[in-house]
Amino acid sequence: MATTSTHQVRTAVLPVAGFGTRFLPATKAMAKEMLTVVDKPLIQYAVEEALAAGIERFVLVTGRGKQAIEDHFDLAYELTATLKARGKDAAVAEITDFLPPPGAIHYVRQREALGLGHAVWCARELAGDGPFAVISPDDLVLAETPCLKQMVEAHAALGGNLVGVMDVPREQTDRYGILSTPNESDRTPTVEGLVEKPTPAEAPSTLSIIGRYILMPEVFEALGQHERGAGNEIQLTDAMAKLIGRQPFHGLRFEGERFDCGTKDGWLSANIAFSLADPDRRAATEATLRRFAANLD
């Protein structure tokens, strides 16, 4: 195994235990992370983004009814054999090329839906003793350089804790973790405070956290206190706030566009944006959009 410095980000934790209630009935019997944007499930985008950032170990925090995720990262033996027999090599590549090496994906279960902080805490024994990434598959980022790669590069210079951030309209601050920072417009603003889902009136800024984090393992100490926060859930934001002042803590205004695929509008926008970004699909997608636009009032 390659030797790695203690500062290298080798592990990614991917919380995938959520119910996906905003996507019912689609998510009644199917993991919401298996919803597709164009032709790939959300979880595959997340794993590919992590691989592109140099991640070697994946910890998926799952729950009941998420079997399809494990199957997606396994060999589909019959399908592969059938495609091979028919000479469909491109299709074989489509279903195997994205697989991390055998043994690189670990699964732990979050038994109860107690919040994002609790989901991350469930990965504590597998997250290693160096900085680790957290990726929420719902948050899909279209970018020239994959978002987590941008973060790993910034982290190599800054160390400590780093969260992906973007500006949101003030009326939406109650959907996000929000930064308090003295240098809000910098590319890597210093984090002086964090508050989970503040009302627009109470929000210290409009700089919000998206589902990309690089965290120091000390966050598990804070998560282990199981304190409840906003929505009576164990919040990752509250545990991170306890690290401020003890360790470097920055935001990264990443380059690219983020889509909240946990909502129908975000998911639909992601489908359009990713389809337009695919050279093989762009012309057909433009034609479809023009056809619909022509019928708008």
Find the binding residues for ligand G1P in span 238-297 (CB under 6 A): none
* Residue 154, CA atoms < 13 Å, CB-side half-sphere: 29
Residue facing ligand G1P at closest CB distance: 177
Cα separation, 237 vs 178, in Å, equals 9
Residue closer to ligand G1P by CB (options 180, 285) is 180
209 binds ligand G1P (CB under 6 A): yes
From 54-62, 82-90, 106-114, 202-210, span contacting ligand G1P (CB under 6 A): 202-210
For residues 101 to 140, the per-residue mask of contacts with ligand G1P, x marking binding by CB under 6 A and - elsewhere, is: ---------------x-------------------x--x-
Judged by CB under 6 A, the stretch of 218-226, 232-240, 241-249, 283-291 that binds ligand G1P is 232-240
Task: Provide DSSP, the chain.
Answer: -----TTS--EEEEE-----GGGTTTTSSS-GGG-EETTEEHHHHHHHHHHHTT--EEEEEE-TT-HHHHHHTS--HHHHHHHHHTT-HHHHHHHHTTPPPTT-EEEEE--S---HHHHHHTTTTTS-SS-EEEE-TTEEEE-SS-HHHHHHHHHHHH-SEEEEEEE--GGGGGGSEEEE-S-TTSSSPBPSEEEES--TTT-S-SEEEEEEEEE-TTHHHHHTT----GGGS--HHHHHHTTBTTB-EEEEE-SSEEEETTSHHHHHHHHHHHHHHSTTTHHHHHHHHHHHHHT--
Shortest distance in whole angstroms from residue 113 CB to ligand G1P: 11
Name the pairing type of β-strands 132-135 and 11-15: parallel
Across-strand partners of 165? 209, 253
CB of 34 to ligand G1P, least distance (A): 18
Comparison of 56 and 139: residue with beta carbon closer to ligand G1P:
139
Out of 196, 238, 250, 254, which residue is the one contacting ligand G1P (CB under 6 A)? 196
According to CB under 6 A, which one of 131, 137, 146, 177 is a site residue for ligand G1P? 177
Site residues for ligand G1P, 134-163, by CB under 6 A, read: 136, 139
Residue 83 or 162 having the CB closest to ligand G1P: 162
Q: Which stretch binds ligand G1P (CB under 6 A): 27-35, 71-79, 99-107, 204-212?
A: 204-212
Among 150, 173, 206, 208, binds ligand G1P (CB under 6 A): 208
- Which one, 17 or 116, has the nearer CB to ligand G1P? 116
- Closest among 120, 133, 283, 146 to 212, alpha carbons compared: 133
Residue 211 binds ligand G1P, judged by CB under 6 A? yes
Binding site for ligand G1P (CB under 6 A): 116, 136, 139, 176-177, 196, 208-211, 235-237
